[in-house]
Structure 1
C-alpha cells in the first residue's frame, strides 16, 4: 500500500484521529484543542485524508462515520524510512552517530536496548624501540654484539 505524504495540518489532525480511531465530525470538533478550526475546514481535511487513504467513511443516515485505516505505526515507519533514505544515505551507522551527537540517544539507551556493553576501549600502541636507552641500560650486551660484527667483517 502506497503511503502519501501529509502536510503539517493534516498530520496534526491525524494525531487526533489516531487517538479516536473511529469518529464523527462532531467528535473531532469536541476533541480538537483551542483554537478550534471551522467545521468546514475540518470537513475539507477529512475529505482529503479519505482521498489519501488514511481514513475511510461509512454513511449513517445523513452523517458520515470516519475510521482510521492507516495505522500510526505504518506512518511512523514511512517517515523514518524516508529520513533514512534521503538524509542518512541508507546508513544505520550515520543515523546512530547523528542521534548520539545531538544527545537524542545515549550509550546507556543503547546498552539497555541491546543488553550488551558498548564501551570505547583504547587501542594498544606498540612500545617504541628505544635503541639509545638500551645501549645505556645494557652496555655489555651492545659491546658483545659490536665485537661479533667486527669479527664477521674481518672474516670477509
Structure 2
C-alpha cells in the first residue's frame, strides 16, 4: 500500500468549502465576528490570496495526517519499514494485506476517525488557546464545530479513496 498523494489534496478543499458555509453571516459568521470583535470591513482588508492559499496548503498537511490516522493498513506498512521494504517482508505481511488490505476503508470509518481527531485533538487545542486569549466558550465551540465537520469530511475522503 502506497501513500495516496491525490486524496489529501482533494480533501484539503474541504476546509475552504466548509468554512465558506460555516462562517457565512447566515450560519455562524455573525456570531463569530461578534465574538472576535471583527467587522466585515476589517475582514475585507485582509490579503485573501495569502489567507486562502496558506489555508489550502495547511489543509493538505492536515489531510496527509488524517490519511495516516484513518487507514490502519499504513500502520502495518510502517511496521515492515515502509513501501520500499515490501519485497523483503515476510510472507505473513502479504497474507495480512491479502486478508485485511481493504478492511475499514470506508467513508464512514474515515469520518469516525475525523470525529475523534476533532474532539480529542483539535478541540483541546482550540479550547486551550481560547482560554488563554480570554475568548468565550461560544467562540471556542464555533471553531470546534467547524473542525469537527471538516475533519470528518477529510477523514471520509482520504479513507474511502482507494
Instruction: Flag the structure with higher strand content.
Output: 1
Instruction: Flag the structure with higher helix content.
Output: 2
**Range into which the TM-score falls when normalised by the shorter chain:** under 0.3
> Greater relative contact order: 1 or 2 (C-alpha under 8 angstroms, separation 6 or more)?
2
